[in-house]
A and B are shown apart, each in its own frame.
Chain A
């Protein structure tokens, strides 16, 4: 697929097809819909807000235009963005289009033939397919966007490597903790426990789970141990060292120390994905980080202090891998 095909897919074909699906369904059933359609639902799935069918189309349409605009902007701009900007913006844009399209289609199918919007009902389960569909569409858009040319900052200079004698083995390891996510995670846990006590017994269990899981997740990603050795680069998360990410040495082309600005890599936390997208970044703070450029053109970044040493180690091990065994 050449670059222009990809740009056409991202800017026109994908958002266009997705938008058409929802719009066509809505317009096809337009004459069967009640004068006002239910647009908002209470917890029990009973409608508690409505609009005229036209108003609804305009509001949701505006949402979709906004999303489509974001995708088109990325597709039509030849400017080279910082690595994570185009995928993130395309993801959000395509998600808005798909979300709007899903809302239109669900509303049209669910409310056709009703006499009044008050007869409408919405099961939470009905949301799952189109939320999943929206995620698939937006991931595809993000993937295409990440394959567009971006600001490359790799020179042609041979990467600095560590001196390793033939029989020498080296391993570098360091940990990095971010203070405020740890506090945030702990706060969420405490609030979760307190709130759960205030809840009715019937929903106490689910409230606890809903609040404790994010707390645990935030705490887990507030501390990492980064290890570089002849197997590659390993990032272990949390205090248990699990889960973890391994970038095998045979995938690594070069390693270098960089200054990580979170905005360029999609923010804080684990951003992007090495399988679905062309880049991934583990960002706990702004500042020094290690950047790996992989042989397939993908990029992995992790924030860590003194990234120069692991970079030189990985470059040395990678060049050793290229040499035939003596």
Chain B
């Protein structure tokens, strides 16, 4: 899979990385159970701090997309594909709603109405 980050972008590096992994999972470029390259190699290759990569992994673990096992590396979680789609949809909803000028409470209400 291709990883790309832009040091000149306003978006923080760890968010760029997390976004890449989410898209990779949604596009099935990263299969469920597949091992990610070691954080150290990613950090070196992309010229970022290793903590930046680990922070991205951490975010995605909290979203249920990655499984981080000590000593066994990081891999794509089972059911990650559908989870990634939901997270991505929610992210887009929030983004577009903000652009339309909606506040946090209004966005939450939007979702609640659908429940």
Residue positions of A touching B, CB distance < 8 A: 164-174, 225, 227, 229-231, 241, 309, 313
**What separation, in Å, do the CA atoms of A229 and B45 have in the docked complex?**
6
Residue positions of B touching A, CB distance < 8 A: 1-9, 37-38, 41-42, 44-48
Query: Which of B7, B42, B45 has the largest number of chain A CB atoms within 10 A?
Result: B45
Contacts of A164 in B (CB 8 A): 4
A170-B2 in contact given A227-B45, A229-B45, A231-B44 (Cβ < 8 Å): yes
Q: Which of chain A's residues has its CB closest to B6's CB?
A: A168
A230 touches B6 (CB 8 A): no
A-B contacts, 25 of them at CB < 8 A, read A165-B8, A167-B6, A167-B8, A168-B6, A168-B8, A169-B4, A169-B6, A169-B7, A169-B45, A169-B48, A170-B3, A170-B4, A170-B46, A171-B3, A171-B4, A171-B46, A173-B3, A173-B37, A173-B45, A174-B1, A227-B37, A229-B45, A229-B46, A231-B45, A241-B38
A168-B4 in contact given A173-B37, A225-B37, A227-B37 (Cβ < 8 Å): yes
**What separation, in Å, do the CA atoms of A313 and B47 have in the docked complex?**
15
**What separation, in Å, do the CA atoms of A313 and B44 have in the docked complex?**
16
**What separation, in Å, do the CA atoms of A243 and B69 have in the docked complex?**
24
Contacts of B38 in A (CB 8 A): 241
A169-B5 in contact given A227-B45, A231-B45 (Cβ < 8 Å): yes
A172-B2 in contact given A227-B41, A227-B45, A230-B45 (Cβ < 8 Å): yes
Distance of B69 from chain A, by nearest CB (Å): 15
Distance of A225 from chain B, by nearest CB (Å): 7
Distance of B32 from chain A, by nearest CB (Å): 15
Contacts of B47 in A (CB 8 A): 169, 230
**What separation, in Å, do the CA atoms of A225 and B41 have in the docked complex?**
12
Distance of A290 from chain B, by nearest CB (Å): 14
Q: Which of chain B's residues has its CB closest to A170's CB?
A: B4
Query: Which of B1, B2, B7, B46 has the largest number of chain A CB atoms within 10 A?
Result: B2
**What separation, in Å, do the CA atoms of A166 and B9 have in the docked complex?**
11
Distance of B23 from chain A, by nearest CB (Å): 14
Query: Which of A169, A174, A225, A231 has the largest number of chain B CB atoms within 10 A?
Result: A169
**What separation, in Å, do the CA atoms of A227 and B36 have in the docked complex?**
12
Distance of B114 from chain A, by nearest CB (Å): 37
Distance of B76 from chain A, by nearest CB (Å): 13
Q: Which of chain A's residues has its CB closest to B43's CB?
A: A171
Distance of A166 from chain B, by nearest CB (Å): 7
**What separation, in Å, do the CA atoms of A310 and B46 have in the docked complex?**
14
**What separation, in Å, do the CA atoms of A165 and B48 have in the docked complex?**
16
7 tightest A-B contacts by CB?
A: A167-B8, A229-B45, A171-B45, A167-B7, A171-B3, A170-B4, A168-B6
B2 touches A165 (CB 8 A): no
B1 touches A173 (CB 8 A): yes
Contacts of A168 in B (CB 8 A): 4-8
Q: Which of chain A's residues has its CB closest to B38's CB?
A: A241
**What separation, in Å, do the CA atoms of A60 and B16 have in the docked complex?**
68
Distance of B48 from chain A, by nearest CB (Å): 8
Contacts of B8 in A (CB 8 A): 165-168
**What separation, in Å, do the CA atoms of A241 and B42 have in the docked complex?**
14
Contacts of B4 in A (CB 8 A): 164, 168-171
**What separation, in Å, do the CA atoms of A230 and B48 have in the docked complex?**
12
